[in-house]
Amino acid sequence: MREIDLASLNEMVKSSRNKRTILTFHSIADTDAVSSAFALKGFFKNASIATPDFITGNSKRILEKLEFDPGIITTKFDDSAELVILLDVNNFEDCGAFKSKLESFKGTILIIDHHTPNEIKNNNVTMFNDESFNSAASIVYKVLKSTDFVLDKNTANLLTTGIISDSAELRNAFPETFIQIGELLERSEIDYQSMLLEMHHIASPHSREEFIRDLFKCKVSIVENLLILSGSTQIHANKTADDAIRIGADAALFYTVKENEISFSGRLRPPLDKTRGINLGKIMKSLAPLINGQGGGHPCAAGAYGPKIQGKEEFIDTFMARITNK
C-alpha cells in the first residue's frame, strides 16, 4: 500500500480521468459515500458506480429529488476496469460482497477516506486518508476544485448534503467545512434551510405517526451513564434511530423484520465515539454473523442485515454489552 498527500491525490485523479473506472463504497452506502461517487462520475469520462449491496433509503431519496438516477448504480464489479476508487471506507472487509473482488483486482485501487487510518497489504492500493476532513464528500470537493471541472448546481447541492450529513449536521464540522458549505450553497443557489429540507424529507402524517408510536413503545434504559433507546419499528429503523438521538438518547438500536430478513440500525451521539472509544461500524460488522448477514458503517451510525431472524435477541444483547462495556 502506498500513502499519498492531497497534492498527489489531485494529480492522480486528474491523470486518471480517461481510465475505465469503478466508483464504489462500503456496504449500505450513506449519503456521504453516494454523493462523492456521483460527483466523481461527472468528472471521469468512463466511470460506473457499483454497490456491494444497496444504498440507504435517504440517499436514494436525495438522489431522486436532485434529479440523479439511482438506477445507474449497479451491483456488478467490472474486473476489467483499470481503476477502482473506494470512497468513504479504508478497508475491504466493510465492502461486503466486493471484498473478494477487491482483494483479487489486478488494476489500481485508490482509496479516498477520512476515518482512522488502516493498513492494507496489497501493493496495488494507493490511499489518501485524512481525518482532518469530516467527510469523503469534503475531500472530493477539494479535489474537484483543483481541476478544470465545473460543478453544476445539482452536483453542488448533492455534495453539500454529503458534507452536512457526515458532520452530524455540523456538530462534527471543521473550520474548512463551513467554507466549503458556503461555496457549495452559493454554487447551487440555495440557502441552508432549503438544503436541510432537501436532506430531511417530511414524511406523511401516517408515517410520522408510526415513527412516534415506535419511539413511545421502545425500551428506555440507563446503563453506565448512557441513555439507550431500543426496539422494533414498522418501516424505517434508521429513521427511528436518528429520531431517538435527536430527542436526547446517547445510543439507539432499532430493527425491522420483513418476511425473510431482519435489519438493524444503530446510532451514537457524537462525540461519544471518541470519548468512550465506541465504533458502531465495527460493532455492527462483528455482530452481523449472528444473523448470517453483513454489517458496517461509521463510528456513530451503522447497520446490519441478514436472513437469520431468530438471531435477533442475541444480536441485541451483545450490542448492548459491547456499548456499555466500552
Residue range 53-99, pLDDT digits in tens: 999 888 999 999 999 999 999 999 999 999 999 999 999 988 989 99
- Regarding whether 182 and 223 lie in a shared domain, the answer is no
Bridge-based pairing state of the strands 262-268 and 251-257: antiparallel
% of the chain beyond a pLDDT of 90: 71
Mean pLDDT (the chain) is: 92
C-alpha grid cell, residue 288: 452481523
Split at pLDDT 50, 70, 90, the class of 171 is confident
Distance CA(272)–CA(300), nearest Å, equals: 8
> Any idea what DSSP says for residue 254?
E
CATH of the domain at 109: 3.90.1640.10
Q: Provide DSSP, 214-236.
A: HHHHSEEEEETTEEEEEEE-SS-
C-alpha grid cell, residue 186: 452559493
Contacts 24+ apart (CB under 8 A), 318-325: 318/287, 318/290, 319/253, 319/264, 319/266, 319/283, 319/287, 320/223, 320/228, 320/230, 320/253, 322/283, 322/286, 322/287, 323/223, 323/226, 323/228, 323/251, 323/268, 323/278, 323/283, 324/223, 324/224, 324/226
Tell me what the mean pLDDT of segment 148-170 comes to. 90
- Regarding whether 153 and 111 lie in a shared domain, the answer is yes
Whether 326 has a pLDDT exceeding 60, the answer reads no
- Regarding whether 95 and 22 lie in a shared domain, the answer is yes
- Regarding whether 209 and 188 lie in a shared domain, the answer is no
Region for 35 from its dihedrals, namely left if φ exceeds 0, alpha if ψ lies in -120 to 50, beta otherwise: alpha
Whether 207 has a pLDDT exceeding 70, the answer reads yes
The more confidently predicted of residues 201 and 177 is 177
Quick one: pLDDT at residue 300?
Answer: 87
User: Which residue(s) pair with 301 in the sheet?
Assistant: 267
Q: Do 53 and 78 contact (CB within 8 A), yes or no? A: no
- Among 147, 180, 198, identify where a domain stops: 198
Tell me what the mean pLDDT of segment 18-42 comes to. 95
Residues 6+ apart with CB under 8 A from 182: none
Tell me what the mean pLDDT of segment 166-177 comes to. 80
Backbone torsions φ then ψ of 20, nearest 5 degrees: -70, 115
- Regarding whether 187 and 308 lie in a shared domain, the answer is no
- Regarding whether 142 and 35 lie in a shared domain, the answer is yes
- Regarding whether 169 and 46 lie in a shared domain, the answer is yes
Q: Do 148 and 24 contact (CB within 8 A), yes or no? A: no
Quick one: pLDDT at residue 228?
Answer: 97
Distance CA(63)–CA(184), nearest Å, equals: 17
Whether 222 has a pLDDT exceeding 90, the answer reads yes
- Regarding whether 96 and 27 lie in a shared domain, the answer is yes
Quick one: pLDDT at residue 175?
Answer: 92
- Among 138, 173, 198, identify where a domain stops: 198
Quick one: pLDDT at residue 203?
Answer: 65
- Regarding whether 154 and 37 lie in a shared domain, the answer is yes
Whether 295 has a pLDDT exceeding 80, the answer reads yes
| Domain, as residue range, for 146 | 2-198
Split at pLDDT 50, 70, 90, the class of 202 is low
Domain count of the fold of the chain: 2
- Residue 25's closest CA among 40, 39, 12, 36? 36
Tell me what the mean pLDDT of segment 176-191 comes to. 94
- Regarding whether 167 and 281 lie in a shared domain, the answer is no
- Among 176, 198, 220, identify where a domain stops: 198
- Regarding whether 286 and 149 lie in a shared domain, the answer is no
Prediction pTM value = 0.79
Distance CA(30)–CA(28), nearest Å, equals: 6
CATH of the domain at 308: 3.10.310.40
- Regarding whether 211 and 165 lie in a shared domain, the answer is no
Quick one: pLDDT at residue 79?
Answer: 93
